[in-house]
Amino acid sequence: MPLNDRRQAMLDTFCHVYGILLDYFYDFDDAVYPHSAWDGYRVVGDCINSAAQRFGRLPVESIEPVVLCEDLLGRIEGSFSLQFPSTSPVFSVLAAFKDAVLSVRIPSPADIDLFHDIGEKLSAECYRLICLPDSPNLCRPTNLVIVPSNRQRFSCQPNKRGGTSTITFEFSTSEFTFESFVNLPFYFLHEYLSHIHSAELFAEEGCSEASPPFEDGWLLYAAQRFYCQRLWHDLPSSLSHLEHRDHYATKYISQVTEGSRNIWVQLGYQQAKNFEKIVGSDLFWKVTLLLATSPFNHLLECADLHQEFMVRIKPWIRRMSTLPDEKRSEGIELMTLAVEDSEPIRSLIDILL
């Protein structure tokens, strides 16, 4: 079910206000820091996100974008009034921010496709480290669907056998915060890197409800590493405010890798991180992309190649971390030779015994 007029208008309002807030982030930061214990991130969390969540929970009387913006800005101003004295310089920044929000036409519908396209392109760039530009797995058609929900999340229904994959953005009016907006490119990158541009995965056969540690953990780490590297060293022309995007992507990772519900995500993410610390960036990417582009049934003796790798890599990492430098270098060299072998997947799995 697509968004109704009310929810679409609220999504448009959030994206418009948050987009301009990005340009005013440092101004808010300068107005509160170092004069207090506040900084720009706390301003966003305690004043803007809290107001936006209250705005999202209450019924709205109008779907006119300007009216909604004025309502949201009024709630934001109320949050500031509860936290800062009226003489604080933060109110001068708030006034300028409000003027900027109300003086610019509100795009409708919000251009979520822009962030979707960025995520897709970043994933394709990552896979092209080992894939040809016209590789079939990078040309799979995909639809983006935005639906209403009481719980915000992204999910993917991949179709890797000639059909069209679907990415679903479940939009919650009470949970779409500033960091949700800032992280949109990263969310889409993760969906493409883990679920659409990758080879066929065992979980896609519908055999398990659990989050698989390879695609939802190991490849989540890979997505974060590639995303942050591109932000700082080769910024996409359509992205800006790299420091905030890095900060909120890292915050998101902390949230999804904590708690007993995400034990497999946490395991996969941590193993990938530990693996890169031992073998270095180049070999990390060779192994990661080699596995991600190999289907789960690549080896007849393995029902699930990626699960088998996760089972075997854990003791290998533990063993390598305890060896003296010379012995560790020998183990890394063996893995390097394995991924350069004529049958790299089989060789990789064999040396992990």
Span 9-33, pLDDT tens digits? 999 999 999 999 999 999 999 999 8
171 SS3 class = strand
Q: Which domain holds residue 89?
A: 5-103
Helix locations, the chain, DSSP H: 5-32, 40-43, 50-57, 65-83, 90-103, 112-127, 178-182, 184-191, 213, 219-233, 242-256, 263-279, 281-292, 305-322, 325-339, 344-351
In this structure, are residues 252 and 154 in contact, taking their beta carbons and an 8 Å threshold? no
27 within some domain: yes
The residues with which 143 forms a beta bridge, in sequence order, are 166
Per the listing, tokens 């530990």 go with 274
Closest among 233, 257, 259 to 246, alpha carbons compared: 233
Domain count across the chain: 1
33's tokens: 């820091």
176 within some domain: no
43 within some domain: yes
59 within some domain: yes
Q: Mean pLDDT, 10 residues at a time, over the chain (353 residues)? A: 90 96 96 86 96 91 89 97 94 97 93 95 94 88 96 94 93 97 97 96 70 92 94 72 93 86 90 97 97 95 94 96 95 96 96 88
What is the pTM (predicted TM-score) of this model?
0.94
253 within some domain: no
In this structure, are residues 144 and 192 in contact, taking their beta carbons and an 8 Å threshold? no
Span 158-216, pLDDT tens digits? 999 888 999 999 999 999 999 999 999 999 999 999 999 999 999 887 655 556 899 99
